[in-house]
Amino acid sequence: MKTMPAVLVVEDEPSIAELIAVNLRHNGFRPTWAMDSLSAQRELDASLPDLILLDWMLPGESGLSLAKRWRAHDRTKDVPIIMLTARGDEADRVAGLDAGADDYIAKPFSTKELLARVRAVLRRRLPEPKGEAIVIAGLSLDSSTHRVSFKDQALRLGPTEFKLLHYLMGHAERVHSRGQLLDKVWGDHVYIEERTVDVHVKRLREALGAAGAMVETVRGAGYRITAKPLVAIDTTDKAGAA
């Protein structure tokens, strides 16, 4: 029997939490409700969900703070997080994504949009198909073991960053627009903004460390991964001419 995905709903307004829980339950999910940061942490300590719907404005510790803390913890760093908030400005959306959220929904939202985003995020967290390891200038990605390394040093990437790197490495030296990356990496991006790509590229570069320079921005066009970055990828490499 197929297990229903577990969703932790962290929301301090009972009416909103109940509406979300009812719709999740009717669409094949298993929701659990936490009304503040303390109860949310207790739920996580007891059992990891498949996804967290996290309200920004909570009594006590904010959702933004929780997202940062959970992303920094080994046990919870890979649990998908969708932020729910009335703060809909671009700066707030970027702050939520930078804190580690996989997606962002501004209130008020439709239940259809909510369910579409939940399904899309869970699809992105599915394991990559098995395949051969890809190696570019010392950067290695093995989709069968879900491991990434640079010059034999293991690197830690989130699932979305892994999929993004996998696609870029599989099409090395080619320039991909934000729209193309949304289509190929995110798949169903009806509700995903192109700005999301920039946030995840930034996160990918940070995770790659010295190899981050291999992910280049091509002004007015998009992104590519290259074996010959314009910036040196470690202290032993000399920067190429621009």
Both 219 and 201 in one domain: the answer is yes
Distance from C-alpha of 235 to C-alpha of 233, rounded to nearest angstrom: 7
Give residue 156's domain range. Answer: 134-225
Domain CATH for 182? 1.10.10.10
Distance from C-alpha of 103 to C-alpha of 81, rounded to nearest angstrom: 7
Distance from C-alpha of 78 to C-alpha of 216, rounded to nearest angstrom: 26
Beta carbons within 10 angstroms of residue 35's beta carbon:
17
Name the DSSP letter for residue 184: I
In the numeric block, which tokens belong to residue 20? 């979300």
Q: Under a CB-based contact definition with an 8 Å cutoff, are residues 224 and 174 in contact? A: yes
pLDDT along the chain (242 residues), means of 10: 81 93 94 94 91 91 90 87 79 76 86 89 66 87 89 89 92 89 71 80 94 93 87 46 35
**What pLDDT does residue 143 have?**
85
Domain boundary among 124, 147, 178: 124
**What pLDDT does residue 67 have?**
92
**238 SS3 class:** coil
Domain boundary among 124, 152, 183: 124
Is residue 157 one of the residues assigned to a domain? yes
Both 11 and 114 in one domain: the answer is yes
Domain CATH for 72? 3.40.50.2300
Distance from C-alpha of 196 to C-alpha of 199, rounded to nearest angstrom: 5
Both 119 and 147 in one domain: the answer is no
Q: Under a CB-based contact definition with an 8 Å cutoff, are residues 216 and 175 in contact? A: no
Q: Under a CB-based contact definition with an 8 Å cutoff, are residues 114 and 186 in contact? A: no
Kindly tell me the burial class for residue 102, based on how many C-beta atoms sit within 10 Å of its own C-beta (0-12, 13-18, 19 or more). Answer: buried
**What pLDDT does residue 166 have?**
93
The enclosing H or E element of 32 equals: strand 30-34
